[in-house]
Each structure stands twice: as C-alpha cells, then as structure tokens.
Chains A and B, each alone.
Chain A
Amino acid sequence: MNDSRHEGAGEVRPPTADFGGCADSSVVLEGVSISKGYGSRGSRRQVLSRVDIRAMRGRCLGLIGGSGSGKSTLMRIVLGLESPDGGVVRFRGEVLAGRSCDGARRRLRMQSGLVFQNPHGSLDPRWPVWRSVAEPLTVGAARGDRSRIVRRVEEALASVGLDPEEFMGRYPCELSGGQAQRVAIARATVNDPALLVADEPMSALDVVARERIMDTFASIRAHRPELAMILISHDLGIVRTIADDLLVLHHGEVQETGVAADVLDAPRSPYTRRLIEAASL
C-alpha cells in the first residue's frame, strides 16, 4: 500500500458530464426529495425536507452539516435502515421505498459498506480482528470456503495499511483509535462494495490518526476506481481532501451542492461561508 503522503489535496476528479444528468448507470445510489419528521402531532420536528442526494460511481460525495443538520438521518434513510416520510430512494435504479421490495434493500445491503464515528464502538470487543473483518463474507450465497475468506481478510487488512500477520489476532482493546478505524474500513470494503458510506469517520481521532485515515481512504479509492463513496462530516477541512462533490445540509435543508472546488471557491449560501471560515487556519 503506498504509504507515501499525498502532497497537498488528494487529486480531485473532473466532474462527469452534467451533475443533474438523468438516471444513468453511473448513479449508484440516489435519494429524491427525501423528507422525514419526528414527534407526535403537537411537537412535530421536521428533520429533513425535500433533500436530493446522489452517489456517483467512482466519485466521493462530501455530506457536510453541523450537529442537528439531519445528515445521520439522511444516511440511515438512504441505506434503507429507516423509511422516509416523503421521497424515494433508488439503488442502481431499483426503488427502495417500503417493505415490499426487500430484494432491492438486501442487494443494497450486500453491496454497501459502513464506517462509523467511534472506532472502538463499531468493533465487537469480544471478537478478534480477523473475525470482525470476515463477517460480511460469511453472509448469503457468497459464503465461500474458509481459505478464501482468510485470504480476502488478509487482502483487506493490507489495503488499509495493517500488516495481517501482526493484526489478524489482535482484539479491539489492543488497538489504537486509528488502527481500530482502519479495521472498520477493511471490514466495510472486504466484500468489494459498490458504495462505501463513512459517518464522521475521523472526528473521534486525533490529528495524526485523522491524516492516516485520510490516506487510507485515498488509497482505497485509488485501488477501486468504480467505488462510490459518501463521506459525512461537520468539518470541511477533512472532507475537501477526499470529496469530489459537496452537499451542504443545515436544519434538514440543502444549502448548496456542486463540485467541491466550485463550492469552496465561490460559496453561494452564507452557511457554507461560515463552514469554510470555521475550517480555515
């Protein structure tokens, strides 16, 4: 794995033909005017109102928003873990709304990987590393034999810069924050997913570990040009190094969306400007 530091920002990919294009095969996951509210009649809290989100093959979407902006709820809806009040979710063109189409939801599950905020919280403390990483491989038809699983696990650990020999048998309590998060990334990518979703993967880590995770994401994307990725964060500084496109969310409404470079150079909404100012030196 090239542990060499990328000088300056990771290479930002050129935009596809037109961002608002029709539903072509390059769109892995799409949410159209997603709305969601909580609470009973009296204290109705609208968390998301008519949000459009699109994850493109080979591109990384940075989903930016402060706490309470609804970004985690949006992720749960888009991944089929929660159903929206309004709007529709399509995975590779197949509509995901409602219980009826479990097929699409299961396919989405099998072809997407998840990384969470708290590294040690997302790994079962009683499982050694190799068993956590192998879990997605032991599901459904792709069960495969023991040696294939062990080989895939070793490849996955190597792809996140962890020496399999040293880390296979380790337990989460024997790992640093950065190492645990990289194990989580290995688990999320071991099944060659079409979509990788990372919810605030770096905010629980210190600066040095964050840089390491950033390089890990960059190398993962380098080895998997087809991978679509959604990186959720409240910090523009972290996201801009990896994201090709940006979606700024505030109080459940889309403030701004577009190619990362354009948004950073000419932010249109005042909220985006505050985010940029908060993330600059």
Chain B
Amino acid sequence: MMDGVMIVLRSVWRRAEGRFSLTVLCLWVAVSVVSLFWTPQPITNTDGYHVWASGSLRHPLGTDGAGADVLSWLMAGSYVDLLIVVATVAFSAILGVALVSAMVARSVMLSSVSVVVVDALISIPTVVLALIVAVPLGASIAVVIVACSIGYGLNLARVARPQALLAARSEYVVSAAASGVTGLRILATHILPAIVPTMAVQLSLSAGTSILAESGLTYLGIGVPSGVPSWGHSLSTSASFVNVYPFAALWPGLVITVVVTALNVFGDMLRDAVDPVVNPRLRRDRTRAGRRS
C-alpha cells in the first residue's frame, strides 16, 4: 500500500501544477510543526505602541489590532487549520464510505434508508449545522469539525454513489457473486476501490472548503474561539479595520487562498493519479506485486 502512495505522489509531482500544490502543502505542514516549538514572536505578547504597524524587521508582516506579530499568529494558526482539515477529511471519509456502503448494500431496507438520509440532510448548509452545534456548546474547533464533517461526508456519499452503483451492478460483481464471493468481500475488493478516485478528489476539495468554512464560522463568532490562533481568526480581526488599515487583511486572506488553491489543484491531479486505469505507473507496480504474491 505504501509504495502505491509513493507512486501516486510521484505522478502528481511530474506535472507543474502538481509541483506547486505539493510544495505549498509540504510548506504548510512544515510551518505547522515548527510553530509548535518556535514562532518569530511569542504570540501571547502584544505591543500596545505599535498597533497596526506595517512591515518591519521585527514584524515582517506588521502587527494586528492588539500589536501582536501577524506572522507568528499566522504560523500558529496553520497548526490549528491543519488539525481541522485532517479531522474533517478523516471523519467525512468515514461517514462517506459508511453511507456509500449502505447505499449499495443488498438489503433494500438499509439502502433505501441511507438514500433517504442523504437526500434529506444534504440540502442543509454547513453554517446551520454549525449553529445547531455551537448554540449549546459554544464556539470551538469541534463545531467547525463536526459541521464540516457531516456536510462533506453527506456530499461525498452523494457524489460517489453513481460510481458505486455502476460497480455494484457491473458484470464483474455478478461474476464474483455467482462464484460465491461474499457480499462484504465484494464491497471491499470491487466496489470501494471503484470510488477511490472520486473520493480522493472530493476529500481534497472538502479539505479546502473546510478552511474556508473555518474562516467564515470564526468571523461569525461560532468557529474557533477568540483566544485560539487560526487563519480565520487573523482574517476576521483584520477585517473590521479594513477601511483604516486595508493591507492588514492582505496576508491572512492570501495564505488561505494559496493553500486552498493548492488543495483544489491537488484534488484535480489526484483524480487521474490514483486510478490505475488512467495512471500506467500504478499498473506496472501491481504487476510486480502479482509476481511476488
């Protein structure tokens, strides 16, 4: 499995857009890890005298409303956003796969119920889900994660369903069933691999959208609480003074846009890189596995 992942990454790296997205994503992860130990300025200390200062040696990207260093807050924020993205992708993948498996299950009851659940809840916007969670529990990272995971899990199920149904009704599944392979094994070996390309794309897009949702929900006050650094938080605080200090909002917005673009581009590239039918390099690897096993 690991060599499969390496081959996919090498295939993505081969193209210019792939290089751009992989570099940005690796940079993001690196900065997140570094920010756990060191940031140019400790994010806690504020400097009342140099509020909204423009770029200087001590504060390369200037300071925000409270005089804190914008660069340090952005670096610290990258860790929180990475956490949100990883959690959202993981939970929505689990929810998505569970729903898709239910939808193609042989038992009519299970499949029709899952279809009903998805069709009914899919039209509820993320922010409403976030509100339903935020009102009782108050603003927190969990609100963003829960709201995004449910929303994107349902969306993943809805988008991957046609491929799953196509595979479930295909002749190679009928042949497997006719030769006695159990339903569960068919699901794991035929149906789920068929939706992997769609899932890879959807999860990358959801990762990008969850960062945008984080910035939106935090601005609305139900996302990341005020004390916790995040890109959305940096963008929100600088937004309210845009008429006076327009350039303060430039950096957080730029960082978010670049990272989300990288995630979307990565998603586009994954569509072909992950599918052995489209990516010949994946096929060559499996044949060696064939020989070995």
Asked if chains A and B are in direct contact (CB within 8 A), the reply is yes
Contact of B172 among A79, A106, A109, A122 (CB under 8 A): A122
Which residues from chain A contact B288 at a C-beta distance below 8 Å?
A: 169
Give the shortest distance, in Å, between B40 (CB) and chain A (any CB): 48
Give the shortest distance, in Å, between B291 (CB) and chain A (any CB): 7
Given contacts A114-B174, A114-B175, contact A174 B180 (CB under 8 A): no
Contact of A169 among B181, B190, B290 (CB under 8 A): B290
Give the shortest distance, in Å, between A152 (CB) and chain B (any CB): 14
Work out how many contacts link A and B, with CB atoms closer than 8 A.
Answer: 75
Which residues from chain B contact A121 at a C-beta distance below 8 Å?
A: 170-172
Which residues from chain B contact A140 at a C-beta distance below 8 Å?
A: 180
Given contacts A106-B180, A128-B287, A174-B283, contact A123 B172 (CB under 8 A): yes
- B180 with A109: CB separation less than 8 A: yes
- A126 with B179: CB separation less than 8 A: no
- B180 with A146: CB separation less than 8 A: no
Chain B contact residue count (CB 8 A cutoff): 24
A138 (CB) vs chain B CBs: closest residue: B181
Give 1 or 0 for each of A159-193: 1 = CB within 8 Å of chain B CB.
00000000011110110000000001001100100
B132 within 8 A of A: no
Given contacts A169-B291, A171-B277, contact A79 B178 (CB under 8 A): yes
A132 within 8 A of B: yes
- A128 with B174: CB separation less than 8 A: no
- B180 with A110: CB separation less than 8 A: yes
Given contacts A109-B180, A187-B175, contact A124 B190 (CB under 8 A): yes
* Complex alpha-carbon distance, A128 and B293, angstroms: 13
Which residues from chain B contact A130 at a C-beta distance below 8 Å?
A: 290
Give 1 or 0 for each of B262-293: 1 = CB within 8 Å of chain A CB.
00000000000001110000010011101101
Which residues from chain A contact B178 at a C-beta distance below 8 Å?
A: 79, 81, 109, 112, 114
A112 (CB) vs chain B CBs: closest residue: B178
B200 within 8 A of A: no
- A81 with B174: CB separation less than 8 A: yes
B71 within 8 A of A: no
* Complex alpha-carbon distance, A173 and B282, angstroms: 13
- B174 with A139: CB separation less than 8 A: no
- B277 with A131: CB separation less than 8 A: no
Which residues from chain B contact A70 at a C-beta distance below 8 Å?
A: none
B193 (CB) vs chain A CBs: closest residue: A126
Which residues from chain B contact A114 at a C-beta distance below 8 Å?
A: 174-175, 178-179
B194 within 8 A of A: yes
- B175 with A122: CB separation less than 8 A: yes
Which residues from chain A contact B179 at a C-beta distance below 8 Å?
A: 109-110, 113-114, 135-136, 139, 191
* Complex alpha-carbon distance, A30 and B127, angstroms: 62
A118 within 8 A of B: yes
- A168 with B290: CB separation less than 8 A: yes
* Complex alpha-carbon distance, A106 and B276, angstroms: 33
User: Which of B186-245 touch A at CB < 8 Å?
Assistant: 190, 193-194
B196 (CB) vs chain A CBs: closest residue: A126
Give the shortest distance, in Å, between B236 (CB) and chain A (any CB): 45
Give the shortest distance, in Å, between B189 (CB) and chain A (any CB): 8
A190 (CB) vs chain B CBs: closest residue: B179
Given contacts A110-B179, A126-B276, contact A171 B283 (CB under 8 A): yes
Which residues from chain A contact B174 at a C-beta distance below 8 Å?
A: 81, 114, 116
A125 within 8 A of B: yes
- B293 with A173: CB separation less than 8 A: no
- B286 with A169: CB separation less than 8 A: yes
Give the shortest distance, in Å, between B78 (CB) and chain A (any CB): 36
Give the shortest distance, in Å, between A187 (CB) and chain B (any CB): 7
Which residues from chain B contact A136 at a C-beta distance below 8 Å?
A: 179-180
Q: Which 10 A-B pairs have the closest CB atoms?
A: A169-B287, A136-B179, A122-B171, A139-B180, A116-B171, A124-B172, A125-B277, A109-B180, A121-B171, A130-B290
Q: List 21 A-B contacts (CB under 8 A).
A: A79-B178, A81-B178, A113-B179, A116-B175, A118-B171, A121-B170, A123-B172, A124-B170, A125-B276, A126-B275, A128-B283, A128-B290, A130-B290, A131-B290, A135-B175, A138-B181, A146-B293, A169-B288, A171-B283, A173-B277, A184-B175
Chain A interfacial positions (CB closer than 8 Å to B): 79, 81, 106, 109-110, 112-114, 116, 118, 121-126, 128, 130-132, 135-136, 138-140, 146, 168-171, 173-174, 184, 187-188, 191
